Amino acid sequence: MATQEETYNLIITGVGGQGNVLSSQLIGQALVGKGYFVTIGETYGASQRGGSVMSHIRISSKKQLSPLIPRGKADIVIGLEPVEALRVLTVYGNSQTVVLSNTRPIYPVDVTSGDEKYPDPEEIQRALKDLSRKVHYIPATEKAMEMGSSILGNMIMMGALLELNLLPLNLAEFRETLSRTFKEARLETNLRALEEGKRTVRS
Amino acid sequence: MSVITLNEPGKELLMMGNEAIARGALEAGVKVGAAYPGTPSTDIIENLAGVASQMGLYVEWSINEKVALEVASSASFSGLRAICAMKQNGMNVASDYLLTLNLVGVKTGLVLVACDDPQGHSSNNEQDSRLFAKMADLPLLEPSTFQESKEMTKWAFQLSEEIGNVVILRGVTRTSHARGNVVLGQLPKTEVKARFDRSKQWLTQPLVPKHQQLHRTLDRLEEIYAASPFNQYLGPESPKVLIITSGTGWLYSQEAVEILGLEGSVGILKVGTTWPLPTQWIVENLKRTDQVLFIEEVDPFLEGNVKEIAADHARKIGPKEFYGKKSGHVPPMGEMTPDRVVDALARIFKISYHPRTPEYETRAQEVAKTMLPSRALGFCAGCPHRASFWSIKNALQMDNREGFATYDIGCYALGRGPAGYYQLRVGGAMGTGTGLASGFGRLSDLGFDQPVIAMCGDSTFFHSAMPALVNAHYNKSNLVMVILDNSATAMTGFQPHPGVGKNAMGETVSPVEIEEVCRAFGAKVEVTDPFDIPDTRDKLLRALEDPEGAKVLIMRRRCQMLKGKDEKPPYRVWVDPQKCIGEGCGCDRVCTRVFKCPGLIWDPKEGKSKVDEVICIGCGVCTDICPEGAIIKEETK
């Protein structure tokens, strides 16, 4: 069962276009439906174009929280991109933060141009571990590509998140929100991605 | 179905602040909405447009914010409630009419929503639009929560009718573009027929008495505000420090007080009606303490106005210590955050606050300093602008007379950075690229001999570049205007514009042909597909060489984000490792180091370029830039 904390601070981060806005909205809708106060602060607009993006999702059983998580107060960080997960931890992480990180990098043009370096996977893993309580690595993009589209990566990450019981939300409740949001064909694919995500963290 | 038309009073939903504003307008029986798109305000009118036929509304994307305010006003003069929304910069455009309309007054409720973008997350400037309310002597409301965004909007219509004038509602990025809980109210059934009563004239004259009347209205507003539920105090009877705040500061302040455990020592005075300030209520609350901290975005608006009240009532309330942007306790620019409130309170109370252990902090700082590559904003894979800028860069280089480009606002403004090869030199406001170029291009009498390219988007062309082009022709200026026509207002979410052939209501309209407009304005016009790099470069070179008058080159290709929605990728693209010579090639890694499409990546192990199949959308443009022909495209079936 989910822990009985009163508030949950979750950050979903990645690169513009990976679907973090939609994921956070779906989680928020599901939880408001369960009687929680949810506040979501998003960065998008210009940031959509290849920049770092993040959504702060704040859940409380008591009151409406502000749309920004104070520094060092993230409980859960979901990185749709590994370096972005790390970037978020340096500001919002603490020694108790739980991280779910996609394993597939998206290289910034600053890196492909040779101006800057993208850290090695081992370096990233070491740093993520140093700045959190627990890190779950999810090969979300790889699995999504196997399923036919990299964009399903976000739903695979959601499946993993729900399977880990880190939020007061179970898979059935989330599925219900999805079924109210997506039309048939898309719903079916997204539900399959959720299941795939569950399997990635099941031991 | 859109959540904003759900007729289930009492139901609690997750809503974006802008959705809540749209819903509040519907609950107030709004009939007309108008706007020019601009982050973070766009979603208000976009949401209303989506439900226009269902709810019997008229909603439009106007060509600019001034026209939007005029359209909304016409509805009010005809007896309909109307809403007009704009981002901060739009307020500057609309202000010309706003500062006339305030003297004229309105008939039925007219609400102007101004959404500011502190920190300029999606903007070219940082601006506090609240100052317009003070300048125009108009009422100003600032919601702090999502529920309040809805309730205040609804009340704003009523207030507008009560005082017979425009009400300004000010949102910011973190209220408008954030989401939270909203409990729905009733949707009214209203049947109204639009009609202008021609027995009445709506004039600014007699001018001075009208101005006087405005000031009397401000006095009345103070009385109305005194009873407003949007103003409240939270905290002990006599706190050590009183925070005076509006907008986002309400939730941030509560959180900061909780983090520092100062519930017994700090009170929070939340002001929802921020112009005119309810003087008596402010005075009563100032009596609680002798230390006051101001928390607001962006300028010290409350700070200055409350200090004025404190000075006027100094004898009654005694001396105060004021903390805020003036004292340096709060940074005077950038957006407000809960951390900024924590820092200000910690300084006042001399508390040493560390959210993390020193060891963790050191590790985090180390990682931030050494491991995190920057992620510069750039054009999407397959974006026509990249190809356009590629040709502009090459043409200016070949022309070799130190030519340069001026610019406006839109996706293509990212061309000021690496994505556009740093080609943009000066500009930044809507239509400004062409206005500046019109000036540069006429300085030849004074020795100026550099070619100038004015960059402009298709939507921006209609918004405010058209007058500048007429100006260029009329004043015999020598310039090349490049219109990057991607058939949408792309940056704000692909809203249609007059060149597209659809309007906000989804009606088909005959598109305004940009080339015809430019020709009618006296310009020489050429059109090109930016993906045809040789043709684009040649046409641009010819235009640059032509010494006479205004030349327009339209680089036309639909936004890839739109194309990707209804078209399959035209090509499968990959790098042939046999042909790519990597660093050994004389090309200086032109594909990844210079062209910089995010779909092209560098494989340091192999020392060759690669296509990232997750990012590449198969436009095939890069196959033309590789000198070795190592990038291969194959038509998809």
Domains of chain B, first to last: 3-226 (3.40.50.970), 232-349 (3.40.50.920), 384-563 (3.40.50.970), 568-635 (3.30.70.20)
ipTM of this predicted complex? 0.95
Mean predicted confidence (pLDDT) in B127-143: 98
Mean predicted confidence (pLDDT) in B389-405: 97
Residue A203 lies in a domain: no
Q: Mark yes or no for CB contact A112/B373 under 8 Å.
A: no
The C-alpha atoms of residue B131 and residue A69 are separated, in whole angstroms, by 29
Write out pLDDT tens, residues A7-46: 999 999 999 888 888 999 999 999 999 999 999 998 754 5
Token pair for residue B300?
Answer: 């010290």
Total number of domains constituting chain A: 1
Could you tell me if B434 and B459 are in contact, meaning their C-beta atoms sit under 8 angstroms apart? no
Residue in B13, B364, B594 nearest the CB of A131: B364
What ranges in chain A are assigned the alpha helix state H? 20-33, 82-92, 109-112, 121-130, 140-147, 153-163, 171-181, 184-201
Residue A127 lies in a domain: yes
Q: Mark yes or no for CB contact B373/A15 under 8 Å.
A: no
Residue A191 lies in a domain: no
Residue A180 lies in a domain: no
Residue B2: its pLDDT value, please?
84
Mean predicted confidence (pLDDT) in B66-80: 98
Burial of residue A184, with CB atoms counted within 10 A of its CB: 0-12 exposed, 13-18 middle, 19 or more buried: exposed
For Cα atoms B90, B93, B96, give the angle at the middle one, nearest 5 degrees: 135
Could you tell me if A52 and B372 are in contact, meaning their C-beta atoms sit under 8 angstroms apart? no
Beta strand B479-485 pairing with B550-556: parallel
Segment 84-113 of chain A within 8 Å of chain B by CB: 86-87, 89-91, 93-95, 104, 106-113
Residue A1: its pLDDT value, please?
40
**B1 band by pLDDT with thresholds 50, 70 and 90:** low
Name the nearest CA neighbour of B531 among B552, B560, B509: B560
Residue A109 lies in a domain: yes
Residue B126: its pLDDT value, please?
96
The C-alpha atoms of residue B349 and residue B342 are separated, in whole angstroms, by 10
What is the maximum span of chain B, computed from C-alpha positions, in angstroms? 86
* Minimal C-alpha gap between B314 and chain A (Å): 35
Could you tell me if B108 and B161 are in contact, meaning their C-beta atoms sit under 8 angstroms apart? yes
Q: Mark yes or no for CB contact A94/B379 under 8 Å.
A: no
- Window from B102-106, B337-341, B377-381, B528-532 with minimum mean pLDDT: B377-381
Write out pLDDT tens, residues A142-170: 999 999 999 999 999 999 999 999 999 99
The C-alpha atoms of residue A89 and residue A93 are separated, in whole angstroms, by 4
Q: Mark yes or no for CB contact A50/B598 under 8 Å.
A: yes
Q: Mark yes or no for CB contact B376/A108 under 8 Å.
A: yes
Residue A2: its pLDDT value, please?
45
Candidates B11, B371, B580: best to mutate against A (most CBs of A within 10 A) is B371
Residue B386: its pLDDT value, please?
94
Contact residues on chain A for B612, CB-CB shorter than 8 A: 106-107
Average pLDDT across chain A, whole number: 92
Q: What percent of chain B has pLDDT over 70?
A: 100
What ranges in B318-445 are assigned the alpha helix state H? 338-349, 358-370, 384-399, 432-440
Q: Does A120 touch chain B (CB under 8 A)?
A: no
* Minimal C-alpha gap between B182 and chain A (Å): 10
Residue A154 lies in a domain: no
Could you tell me if B556 and B488 are in contact, meaning their C-beta atoms sit under 8 angstroms apart? no
Residue in B14, B368, B375 nearest the CB of A50: B375
Contacts of A188 (CB under 8 A, 6+ apart): none
Segment 130-169 of chain A within 8 Å of chain B by CB: 130-131, 141, 145, 150
CA torsion sign for B444, B446, B448, B453 is negative
Mean predicted confidence (pLDDT) in B547-566: 91
Mean predicted confidence (pLDDT) in B42-66: 97
In the block, residue with structure tokens 């059935």: A172
* Minimal C-alpha gap between B132 and chain A (Å): 25
Beta strand A98-102 pairing with B524-528: unpaired
Residue A97 confidence (pLDDT) above 50: yes
Token pair for residue B365?
Answer: 């700082």
Token pair for residue B461?
Answer: 């062309």
Residue A161 lies in a domain: no
Provide the domain limits for residue A78. Answer: 7-139+166-173
Write out pLDDT tens, residues A110-132: 999 889 999 999 999 999 999 99
Average pLDDT across chain B, whole number: 96
In the block, residue with structure tokens 């407000």: B336
Burial of residue B560, with CB atoms counted within 10 A of its CB: 0-12 exposed, 13-18 middle, 19 or more buried: buried
Q: Mark yes or no for CB contact B179/A43 under 8 Å.
A: no
Count CB pairs under 8 A between chains A and B: 198
* Minimal C-alpha gap between A182 and chain B (Å): 12
**A47 band by pLDDT with thresholds 50, 70 and 90:** low
Residue A3: its pLDDT value, please?
46
pTM of the model: 0.96
CA B447 to mean position of chain CA atoms: 38
Q: Mark yes or no for CB contact A64/B592 under 8 Å.
A: no
The C-alpha atoms of residue B105 and residue B166 are separated, in whole angstroms, by 7
Residue B586: its pLDDT value, please?
87
Task: Indicate the DSSP class of residue B463.
Answer: I
Name the nearest CA neighbour of A15 among A93, A114, A105: A105
Token pair for residue B577?
Answer: 């490792």
Write out pLDDT tens, residues B303-317: 999 999 999 999 999
Residue B160: its pLDDT value, please?
98
The amino acid at B12: E
CB atoms within 10 A of CB A121: 12
Write out pLDDT tens, residues B333-384: 999 999 999 999 999 999 999 999 999 999 999 999 999 999 988 899 999 9
Name the nearest CA neighbour of B25 among B65, B62, B53, B52: B52
CATH number of domain containing A115? 3.40.920.10
The C-alpha atoms of residue B145 and residue B154 are separated, in whole angstroms, by 14
The C-alpha atoms of residue B240 and residue B579 are separated, in whole angstroms, by 74
Residue A201 lies in a domain: no
Mean predicted confidence (pLDDT) in B219-241: 97
